[in-house]
A = this chain, B = another copy of it.
Amino acid sequence: MITAPSREADVIIVGAGISGMIAARALLAAGLTPLVLEADDRVGGRILTEEALPGLPVELGAQWIGDTHHRMFALAEELGVQTFPQYDDGETSYQLAGSGVLRQNDFHSRFGAELAELEKVLRLLDELAAEVPPEAPWLAPHAAEWDSITAGAWYDGQGLSPVARTLLEICTVGILAVPTVEVSFLHLLFTIQTCGVTSELFAESEGGAQTTRFVGGTGEIPRRLAALIADHLVLEAPVLLIEHGAEQVTVTCRGGLVARGRRVIVTLSPTLAGRIMYDPPLPGVRDQLTQRLPNASAMKAFFVYDEPFWRADGLNGQLISDIGPARMSNDTCMPGDGRGVLLLFLEGDQARTYGRLPTDRRRGALTAELVRHFGPKAAHPECYVDGEWAERQWTRGCYNANCGPLVWTTFGPALAAPVGAIHWAGTDTATHWSAYMEGAVESGERAAAAVIGELGG
């Protein structure tokens, strides 16, 4: 007789990203036994550090933290992962609205009025975002109005010059990873409010969400977290079915593993959480929510050179462009390593268009763009690495889930509310830095605390 493998725990956790492992650690600290089931053959979720060359990690997923990411700074310190500042010396290179390639100082001189327009809109966004309660965006005073238009339509209504409008689109797509006409204006304001103010978020600003990196790569965080919960972690266990009652949950994985516990915490992005079969079925409002929170479209591409030659030219490795496959780039060299690394972001339309091309053609288009901004040396990298998230079966899109019109106001309350013995976590359910690693930590702590409250610690 064949017996299916089975495991018992107090709390079954679906997903070994940061939120799942943070929840597991909190449960352990409270004297409860967690069991984390991860579909992939690795931990980390949307964090994925790969070696481009020996000793040279690059981040295909989450990479930075910012000054207000207090939970992540504390976690890194606790785990013994050192941090270092993002390189930010020199000028950014621009190519916008037919301007040709311009260095930052020239761009600012020529488009001072347009930049002032942009600044004014960002201040207005900050004012409006301040009215959005991050734990309940549907309660904002103008929620119905703001949720009925797209962010793109609101932008279009501001009477901006083409340069200012384009810059605003690029900055926003750099956060949401979808075109602004796909998301509701309320969702944009929520995204700003969950992070503080636009200056925390948008790429042009110093400070903000991308000040700090991790020595050894961001992957050190999930790797070390996994070591702490190693006895409570099963890889390659994709969850197919969750049967749940008031005091018992049974979680069935592909391959036959059956895990039983008293509560379950599902940490997947909402769209993936919606793909699990639940018995009894979830309420309609929760189900239809998960039909309406698509993961965004993003990929990152890395070029490694024998040196960061752009620095000698007074450039910081950043570009902002409205033509070509990448709208933005960054210098992502590692400290104490002489090699030069440029990261190009493909987000929204660019990820969709170029992400579907053969790698050679994508690389060729990206190389041409780099040469325009950083000169002929950019044509000869030692190495090229990229990664497209929609293709990854257990992620299916980055960076985050975005709400189209009327999703927050008609389905929002179902995003994080437990359903019986089922709790929801994952950065998309966070209220502070939702869509960031910081939000993942918050959500894992929140779900664990709720479960500990129910079961006793």
Contacts and interface: CB of A to CB of B under 8 A. Distances in A.
Contact of A238 (B2, B277, B355): B277
A323 interface: no
A396 B295 contact: no
Interface string A181-193: 1100000000000
Q: How many monomers of this protein are in the complex?
A: 2
Contacts of A405: 150, 152, 179, 181-182, 404
Contact of A396 (B150, B153, B288): B288
A148 interface: yes
Given A291-B271, A294-B291, A390-B287, A149 B410 contact: no
Contacts of A397: 284, 288, 291
A361 interface: no
Interface string A384-418: 00001111010011000000111000100000000
A396 B287 contact: yes
A283 interface: yes
Contacts of A281: 391, 393
B355 A391 contact: no
A10 B151 CA distance: 49
B295 A291 contact: yes
A400 to B, nearest CB: 13
A380 interface: no
A365 to B, nearest CB: 18
A154 B82 CA distance: 52
Interface string A331-358: 0000000000000000001001001100
Contact of A1 (B2, B355, B406): B2
Interface string A165-188: 000000000000011011000000
A288 B295 contact: yes
Nearest to A291: B294
Given A148-B181, A281-B393, A291-B294, 20 more contacts: A1-B2, A2-B2, A149-B150, A150-B153, A181-B406, A182-B406, A240-B254, A271-B291, A274-B275, A275-B275, A275-B277, A281-B391, A283-B391, A284-B355, A287-B390, A288-B297, A291-B295, A291-B396, A291-B397, A404-B404
Interface of A: 1-2, 148-150, 152-153, 178-179, 181-182, 238, 240-241, 254, 271, 274-275, 277, 281, 283-285, 287-288, 291-295, 297, 349, 352, 355-356, 388-391, 393, 396-397, 404-406, 410
